[in-house]
Structure 1
Amino acid sequence: MTSDFFMPFQHDLLDLRDLFNFSNLSSFTHNIPVKWVESALRLSESATIRRRRLPSDQVLWLVLGMAIFREEPVHEVARRLNICTKSLASDSLLARSGISHARQRLGSEPVEWLFRETGGHWRHERYPEDEWNGLQVFAMDGALFRTHDTPELREHFGSGNTSTKRQTPFPMLRLVALMNVRSHIIVDAQVSPYRRGEIPLAETFINHIPSRFITLLDKGFWSANLLSLIHQGDDRHWLIPEKKGLIQKVIDTYDEGDELVEMKVSPQARKQHPYLGETWQARRVTYKTKTGHKTILTSLPATEYNAEAIALLYKERWEIELGFRDIKSSMQGNAITLRSKKVDLVYQELWGLLLSYNVIRREAAMAAIQFDRSPSDIRFKAVCDYIAVQLIVMAASNPLSGTGRRLSELRSGIGSLFLERRSRPTTPRTVKISKTRYPAPLK
């Protein structure tokens, strides 16, 4: 990123020097990388601004706390975490207006940058059983979040239409995320107003994906351009269900239910992306399920990867759905909307939510490694609740401790929160009833 990108918010990162105790890095650098903090410090070395009563480290900690204590008002989150001014006693909490102004000064860009910096570092990490045939396994999918219904938010984020062509009850913003399905850490993401589609959002961060990986996608990401972008690189592959009504020509047959097929690229796609040819090829694998047959297409070559193993691998795509469930249910308590009512604060809240989710997931993954278990064996809801309690205890004992120092103290006890894996029953997907702002009529 260029220096121009950081200029609007580099001053807000001035107080991040207290984020970690650099005199004793050995206790947590193995668990929480500090490269993103050091970069922020280098950007702010020459900054000279008026010191605010509420340091940016405390504001950042507040944003993370908002994600964990979703059912509490923001001022109550500040009270629970003992957010206070640096120049006053620990019991001198700021007024509600001061907290709101501090969030607005911080804005969304520093929180987004911190999420991307940590994700960029953590995407290269390896965990037990992290790889499949030498490849990291990622999944890509989208999710929607609702905001309060105000003219400002509806104009910026937009909304969908119902079957009667009425607008949906709440403005919505769209998230597209790339998740490591073994650790459930979100390594990259894009957020935008609802009107922008999932495929254009996904195309913006494809180049950030490392080599030697495979991405599992839902059929909604079917795009010759997107799949070709994923395949460009050192041993990068994709796996996606067959699109309904797809016209294909069999080029070669490897085995029963395992073929090489050729498909045409639409004139619209070639016009938008001239480098695409008139046709493209993929491997088609068909396998039996409890309800019939399923067909998936992939870029994995038949000479190196077994069709049966590919069929089993695609079942792991569901792990990203579980990750979204953890965010919306365990962290957000199935809240209908995000809590913020300003456009920039909505983005700040969502990036803070993703960053908090990743911190919880990574702390769980590190605890799992210590017990020689898989990161997915840790119960997310239990870890989230455990961390929430520990945050309150630590805040009471040392309200001005830095963010990194607090996080480094959370490891103890997480190792007792393992779950036993059980096979999930296969059930058909159903359309959920749209949430409404109006209560159901009494019968």
Structure 2
Amino acid sequence: MHPWIGLSENVRLGVLTERVTPELVDRMLAEHCCEGSRPGALPPRFMVYFVLALALFQQDSYDDVAENLVGALGGMDQSVPNKSSFTRARQRLGAGPLEGLFRALAGSVAPEGLAGSFYRGMRLAAVDGFVLDVPDTTANRVFFGGPSDVKGRDVGFPQTRVVTLTETGTHASIDAAVGAFNGGEPELATRLAGSAAGMLVLMDRAFPGVALWKAYTQAGAHLLLRARSCVAQRPTQILADGTYLARMSLAGQRASHPGGVTVRVVEYRIDGGEVIRLLTDLLDVDAYPAAELAALYHERWEAESAYRQIKTFLRGPAQVLRSAGPELVRQEVWAHLVVHHCLAQIIMHLAGAGGLDPDRICFVKVLKHVRRSVIRQRVQMPMKLKTFLTNMAAKIGRKLDNGARRLREADRFLKHPESKYGPRYRNSRGHPAPRPTRKVPEKIIEPVIVA
């Protein structure tokens, strides 16, 4: 009999157990028919916590992650099962319980009045997507696909695509969809429409389309989307503030086709640069001034900050996921989304305790504290959990508070040239080397008025 039998059920996930409770895990296992038929060294509940720990300790091996989980529990680290046992247990578990956990936990967390989270009574959210590299196995390549060159040859790793509905003020995920690289972001984004009711949703210019527009507006959401210059370019009515109404139709249709939609077009420049075009269903020029919408659109970048937390700090920069099959890849991605959302909730708790905007709380340091809580099993008793959070809150002033955000920018360049052995000061495509981030004055937004 393996020494872990009867003991692994006692393993928890540190401070994250306050949100991912054993009762919630058991409910998800029951809903997805993953309850264990007999006790074993790696029962389903333990495996849920183990998969979440794989996301929390992405750079560590299976052995190291297992030791992090059980090292404080009476010698269990001396009898860690081998890697193949963990892999088989992950396969038995599947992706369903982790996706169920995310859907049970995800949602908006910003309290009323939090800066950057609301606009005229509507909660602000952003839809965007990112890709994650997965191991280059035949199964992953067939299921997910990946980038290719002009001749159709595979380039780099297969990739899975993730699209999220993110609360701009807190970086918390409200909903998410996981798919293949070969599937488009708009298709995944359309699946999230039902979770956006009552919100003002921001998207970049990769998303505008009639199907997506109708899905969100029919679900009760409002939209503020950037668009290409060829979209809704013919005014049908000039409004009082210089914005105008136009028709957005499917490709190949006339503007008057009944299958299209009427949108309000807001155009502006930043520091005299290119014209930026926004589409919105907020047609009242008095209730929703163009200048406010132009300034508001830049909150969309908060989704990029959330993705940086997932891809750079939680996963690790340029790290490839560890799962060799599509089902385990999906399981791993949902685990990353669960852990990130729990961290966003902890940050909100700490920000509330310190009376700060959550943007000022250092994500990296919170992540390190949470990892330490797992290694120390600091959630074995409620008082220990309360003490841990109290100690974290006490460190806000000297460690966790990043201070108010500064206005900074850096020119956008290709960060990963094809060859890392190119000239020192120019990348392989001839662009100048990126300059460091620098302080800049506040941007000037100039509306473009259509006569």
Which bracket does the TM-score occupy, shorter chain normalised?
0.7 to 0.9
Map of 2:344 onto structure 1 = 361
The question of whether the paired residues in 1 share the 8 Å contact of 2:109 and 2:170 is answered with no
Structure 2 residue corresponding to 1:227, chosen from 205, 213, 232: 213
Q: How far apart in 2 are the matches of 1:267 and 1:192?
A: 28
Most deviating of 295-304 and 361-370: 295-304
Q: Does 1:136 align with 2:123?
A: yes
Contact 2:244 2:266 in 1 (8 A): yes
Aligned counterpart in structure 2 of residue 192 of structure 1, from 170, 175, 179: 179
Deviations 1:163-195, CA, capped at 9 Å, x for gaps: 454311211111111100111011111111211
CA deviation string 1:23-62 (max 9, x = no partner)? xxxxx98x77899558437749996721222232321221
TM-score, scaled to structure 1: 0.80
Question: Mean alpha-carbon deviation: is it higher for 259-268 or for 56-65?
Answer: 259-268
Check whether the contact 1:63–1:349 (CA below 8 A) recurs between aligned residues: yes
Which blocks of at least 5 consecutive residues in structure 1 are unaligned? 1-14, 21-27, 271-275
Report the CA distance between 1:359 and its aligned residue: 0.8
Question: C-alpha offsets along residues 341-382 of structure 1, whole Å, 9 cap, x if unaligned?
Answer: 222211111111111111111111111112222222211112
Q: Could you report, residue by residue, the CA deviation over 1:255-314 in whole angstroms, capped at 9, with x for unpaired residues?
A: 4442222333334799xxxxx824321111122302423221111132421211111110
Matches within 5 A, 1:289-438: 289-292=270-273, 293-301=275-283, 302-394=285-377, 401=380, 410-415=388-393, 416=396, 417-433=400-416
SS at match of 1:238: strand
Q: CA deviation at 1:159?
A: 1.3
Q: Output one character per residue of 1:145-177: Cα deviation in whole Å (capped at 9) or x when no partner.
A: 111112222122111212454311211111111
Alignment of 1:207-226 (within 5 A): 207-209=194-196, 211-226=197-212
Distance 1:318 1:115 in 2: 23
Taking the aligned partners of 2:417 and 2:28, their CA distance within structure 1 comes to: 42
For 2:362 and 2:333, the matched residues in 1 are separated by 22
The amino acid that maps onto 1:412 is T
Counterpart residue identity of residue 267, structure 2: T
Distance 1:381 1:391, change over 3 A: same
Question: Structure 2: any 5+ residue segments left out of the alignment?
Answer: 1-7, 425-451
Which residue in the other structure is 1:284 paired with? 265
Counterpart residue type for residue 132 of structure 1: Y
* Aligned CA-pair RMSD: 3.5
Change in CA separation of 1:363 and 1:48 when aligned onto 2, cut-off 3 Å = closer
CA contact (8 A) 1:137 1:180 kept: yes
- Structure 2 distance, partners of 1:16, 1:217, is 43
Residues of 1 paired with 2:72 and 2:415: CA distance? 43
Instruction: Determine whether 1:93 maps to 2:74.
Output: no
Which of these residues, 54, 59, 78, is aligned with residue 71 of structure 1?
59
Partner of 2:169: 182
- SS of the aligned residue for 1:296 comes to strand
Question: 1:225–1:43: structure 2 CA closer, same or farther, 3 Å change rule?
Answer: closer
Pair 1:170–1:268, CA change in 2 (3 A): farther
Paired residue secondary structure (1:220): coil
**Do 1:260 and 1:281's aligned partners in 2 also have CA atoms closer than 8 Å?**
yes
Distance in 2 of aligned mates of 1:285 and 1:220: 17
Aligned-pair distance for 1:89? 5.5
CA distance in 1, matches of 2:254, 2:23: 40
Q: Which residue in the other structure is 2:439 paired with?
A: none
Instruction: Give 2:373's aligned amino acid.
Output: Q
Could you tell me whether the CA contact under 8 Å between 2:243 and 2:290 is conserved in 1?
yes
Q: Relative to 1, partners in 2 of residues 1:39 and 1:59: Cα closer, same or farther, differing over 3 Å?
A: closer
Change (3 A) 1:257 1:385: farther
Deviations 1:219-241 (A, max 9, x none): 1011111012111144x211111
Q: Could you tell me which amino acid in structure 1 is paired with residue 203 of structure 2? A: L
Query: Structure 1 residues 181 and 255 mapped into 2: Cα distance closer, same or farther (>3 Å)?
Result: same
Q: Closer, same or farther in 2 for the Cα pair 1:409/1:227, shift >3 Å?
A: farther
Where does residue 242 of structure 1 map in the other structure? Answer: 227
Query: What CA distance in whole angstroms lies between the structure 1 residues aligned with 2:373 and 2:248?
Result: 55
CA distance, structure 2, for counterparts of residue 353 and residue 291 of structure 1: 41
Instruction: Tell me the TM-score normalised to structure 2 length.
Output: 0.79
How far apart, in 2, do the equivalents of 1:405 and 1:60 lie?
24
Residue 448 (structure 2) aligns with:
none
Deviation string 1:367-417 (CA, Å, 9 cap, x unpaired) is 11122222222111121112112221226xx8xx59x99977752344311
Decide whether aligned partners of structure 1 residues 195 and 47 sit closer, same or farther in structure 2, where only a CA change above 3 A counts: closer
* C-alpha separation in 1, matches of 2:296 and 2:343: 26
Amino acid corresponding to residue 60 of structure 2 in structure 1: E
Q: Distance in 2 between matches of 1:149 and 1:289?
A: 42
**How many Å separate the matches in 1 of 2:383 and 2:43?**
16
Partners of 1:59 and 1:442 in 2: how far apart? 48
Alpha-carbon contact 1:137-1:213 (below 8 Å) kept = yes
Q: 1:442 to 1:207 in 2, by over 3 A?
A: closer
Q: Matches of 2:63 and 2:210 in 1, distance apart?
A: 48
Give the conservation status (yes or no) of the 8 Å contact 1:54–1:84: no
